[in-house]
Amino acid sequence: MSQRELLFVLAHAQLCAACRDRLLASPEAVFAGHALTEAEKERLTNLHEADFFTPERLGEAAGVSIGELNEHANHPVVRLRHL
């Protein structure tokens, strides 16, 4: 299954402090409107502020590659759609 939505959420949260704070404070509120699997929701729920310090750390914590994260970072959806 595609991790596209997960990567969109991660990449946007990495760029947008307000959305990152929302994700960390209330991940369930972020899940609405995103086609995420239960495993992806669990990965997002287990993230901490420190996981966003570097892309490498975020990739490791979320179980995605840095290449995938970087590939999605400049996608228009990531830049324009808040969580």
Asked whether residue 47 carries a pLDDT value surpassing 60, the answer given is yes
CA distances from 46 to 13, 40, 61, 64, 74 (A): 14, 10, 8, 14, 25
Residue 2, pLDDT score: 61
Residue 1, pLDDT score: 41
- Banded pLDDT at 73 (limits 50, 70, 90): confident
Residue 40, pLDDT score: 94
pTM here is 0.87
Q: Which residue type does 80 have?
A: L
Ordered by start, the domain boundaries in the chain are 4-80
Stretch 34-56: mean pLDDT:
94
Residue 50, pLDDT score: 97
